[in-house]
Chains A and B, each alone.
Chain A
Amino acid sequence: MKIGLFIPCFIDAFFPEVGIATLQLLERFDLDVVYPPDQTCCGQPMANSGFETDTSGAEALFVRNFDGFDYIVGPSGSCVHHIRHHFTGVEQTAAVSEIRSRTYELVEFLHDIIKVDAFPWARFPHKVGLHNSCGTLRGLRHANASELREPHFSKPESLLCKVEGLELVAASRPDECCGFGGLFSVVNESVSAKMGSDKVRDFAQAKADYIVSADSSCLMHQRGCAERDNVAIKFIHIAQILNGAAA
């Protein structure tokens, strides 16, 4: 199975360890993982701001980079959500539709496609609060949403439960957005920062040692809030835990 490794721009620049963990984790399952070196950005920042026509160059490049893979896998829910649901800056050819439907966020790829049943190399003896980003929760449907009358399910939870020693703790407002929101974080910075502070405090009150997420953008924002507020809590991407990060 040939996998195109999609490393979103901000993960490349700020969170290389997340990209590394994703690559190593996928390779543990004997997948042929290829990193196309010419990737930049999926177009999400422009699209979410309404600038659809300004996404066309980035989206066309994405299509060129990721043509021909069985699956395209990236460790960022919001970017994958963009590709699957909003990637309309380029003409919707058969190839584009194919690429869009073959693009998976890491958690759903592990859970739905290769159906991982164990992570024997992973041990994480800590209390962990799971933050589902809004893109993964309500966009990609990683888990049931608290607003809907539907049975409980959670793909990230079911993966994390396979990690030895890991204890999940729940925030009191489990689905509350943390306030990152891309450009929202700077255009509406005071509301954004307040939402982030409230989110971090909620996890701290649940006695979480770590906040884990499939989205580094939410974590980047929450970490900035925690550091500003002197809340002692650590942040880690789910790929790192599943790949066996010690702490």
Chain B
Amino acid sequence: MTKGTEGDRPDHAKPELQPRGARHKGNRPINQAEAAERFLAAPRHQQQHDTRLWTLRQRRDDQMWAMPEWEEMRSLASAIKEHTLSHLDAYLEMFEANAKANGVVVHWAKDAAEHNAIVLDLLQRRGAKTLIKSKSMLTEECGLRADLAKAGVEVVETDLGERIQQLDDEDPSHVVVPAVHKLRTDVAKVFAATIGSDPENDDPPYLAGAQRDATRPLILNAGAGMTGANFLVAETGAVVVCTNEGNADLCANIPNLHIVSVGIEKLVPRTEDLAIFVRMLSRSALGSPITQYTSHFRGPRKGGEMHVVLVDNGRSERLGMEEFWTSLKCIRCGACMNTCPVYRRSGGLSYGATYSGPIGLIIDPTFNARKYSNLPFASTLNGSCTNVCPVKINIHEQIYAWRKVLVRQHETPFVKRAAMKAAGALFSRPAIYRAAIERTNDALASLPRFVIYNGLNAWGKGREMPHPPAETFHQWYFRNRGGRP
């Protein structure tokens, strides 16, 4: 049955069901921990996920060690982004003017609804019934596919991972490798059900070929093409797209209409600035020196049209948030996800949001503080994310800052608030504290109720409890050193 060589699963075992992501209940807070627990209950999925992403992290480290100026590059990349964001209005207008001069039509969308309406209008005016697109987190953020489907436009994702996710009706679980949480047996199942491939064949080249055969005719006959953009160059009006599959080039070059959907934070001032970012992007993301394709789109082809939709969708508001505006420096490399020990063990879909992993924890609450109020707590604050970030976003410090904001906004459970208040009061009163922890001569019986708000039940599920000592340090000290007990 297994024809590949990757060793996803032992031949004798029956396939493990793919764990699904977080459950959405309207605007109620996403329970990331619950979804992560289900992911962990599928050990083959979890182990492969962890191994794949850790491998990316190791390859990233290899690239880092191969480049003596690595830390200097991070500082430069960060400085360029901070400069650009601090003068965003001017650079956006510069980009618009230069793009227009190149023959590009520039649109401005204040939010997701406006973006989707602009795209739909462009398609409908030209009678385009099929849109081929390359991967774009922004269009995920805007819910573009669902809106276009309602209007009768068929959307075909052309990035392999994103196509897998589309056919499986799942969100991408990672910004760079959208189907990384799936085993190849899961992919075989999805393809068998949707494009009619052999359900018994889970050989990756076979699966990629089957998808290619099924999608090529759709690409060749599409009415319009859409790409995202990794970078916009203000001084030239160029749109830069980095892919490994070359699919963005098909989307941009085959249909006559090329629509670029891009967030306003993707600007860099000059072409030479790209030298920093293009060198950092793929090294940080996949540990490869550069993506297979780095395409610069400067204007429409002869007889064709090129449109750029500049999307705000909350970015201006984020830019005004003193503690969180630097999250806009993000170039969506996914390095923070690859290194995150929580993400690797939870799966990206457990976050129930467009952006998962560490960067998601600090971006998602800007879209909906209530729904994503648990996410900033899905972290140990270990700081590895901050260290791998190629644009030096202080991710773990922003996670910490979000916790304070969410508590101030009362987006935390009552029981936790009450327990923290009680703990804070107890720790302010030494005599009462001392009596509380020593009253039974069994520290375990009382201290954790105050230190750990919901008792030790959850602690004891997967771990043994600590062993309470015969006496506290405090008791030992006064027994041995004299003085007041």
Contact = CB atoms under 8 A, between A and B. Distances in A.
B258 interface: no
Given A179-B341, A188-B33, A16 B471 contact: yes
Given A40-B433, A146-B61, A220-B466, A191 B36 contact: yes
A196 B40 CA distance: 13
Contact of B461 (A46, A146, A177, A189): A189
B400 A86 contact: yes
Interface string B431-443: 0010001000001
Interface string B207-234: 0000000000000000000000000000
Q: Which of B54, B463, B476 has the most CB of A within 10 A?
A: B463
* Chain A at the B interface: SS class: helix
A197 B464 CA distance: 12
B384 A138 contact: yes
B421 to A, nearest CB: 6
A14 B341 contact: no
B454 interface: yes
Nearest to A181: B380
B400 A48 contact: yes
B378 interface: yes
Interface in A67-87: 86
Nearest to B41: A190
Given A12-B474, A38-B430, A40-B433, A51 B417 contact: yes
B353 to A, nearest CB: 16
B466 A224 contact: yes
A164 interface: no
A61 B380 contact: no
A193 B61 contact: no
Contacts of A149: 64-65, 67-68, 70-71
B325 to A, nearest CB: 20
A117 interface: no
A186 B463 contact: no
B52 to A, nearest CB: 14
Contacts of A61: 427-428, 430
Contacts of B471: 16
Contacts of A173: 54
Nearest to B420: A51
Given A40-B430, A195-B345, A224 B459 contact: yes
Contact of A57 (B68, B341, B377, B428): B428
Given A14-B443, A40-B433, A228-B464, A46 B420 contact: yes
A54 B462 contact: no
B388 interface: yes
A245 to B, nearest CB: 15
A162 B333 CA distance: 42
A45 B464 contact: no
A43 B400 contact: no
Interface in B398-446: 400, 402-407, 412, 416-417, 420-421, 423-430, 433, 437, 443-444
Nearest to A10: B451
The SS class assigned to the B binding surface is: helix
Interface in B328-367: 339, 341-342, 345-346
A170 interface: no
Contacts of B383: 134, 137-139
Given A40-B430, A45-B423, A184 B466 contact: no
Contacts of A18: 473
B462 A55 contact: no
Interface residues of B, number: 83
A32 B140 CA distance: 62
A84 B65 CA distance: 31
A186 B452 contact: yes
Contacts of A194: 40, 46, 345, 462
Contacts of B467: 14
B380 A179 contact: yes
B108 interface: no
Contacts of A10: 447, 451
A175 B416 CA distance: 30
A7 interface: yes
B459 A13 contact: no
B473 A11 contact: yes
A98 interface: no
Contacts of A124: none
B122 interface: no
Nearest to A176: B341
A193 B463 contact: yes
Nearest to B461: A189
B458 interface: yes
Given A46-B423, A180-B380, A14 B474 contact: no
A221 B463 contact: yes
Contacts of A134: 380-384
A145 interface: yes
Contacts of A227: 463-464
Interface string B463-485: 11111110111111110010110
Given A52-B404, A52-B407, A187-B458, 20 more contacts: A7-B474, A16-B475, A17-B469, A37-B477, A37-B483, A40-B427, A45-B423, A49-B407, A147-B388, A173-B54, A179-B380, A181-B381, A181-B382, A184-B380, A188-B36, A189-B33, A191-B345, A196-B462, A197-B462, A225-B464
12 contacts: A15-B473, A37-B484, A45-B423, A51-B407, A138-B383, A182-B380, A184-B379, A191-B36, A195-B341, A195-B342, A196-B462, A224-B465
Interface of A: 7, 9-20, 23, 35, 37-41, 43, 45-46, 48-58, 60-61, 86, 134, 137-139, 145-150, 173, 175-177, 179-197, 220-221, 223-225, 227-228
**A-B pairs with lowest CB-CB distance, top 5:** A57-B428, A193-B462, A50-B403, A181-B380, A54-B424
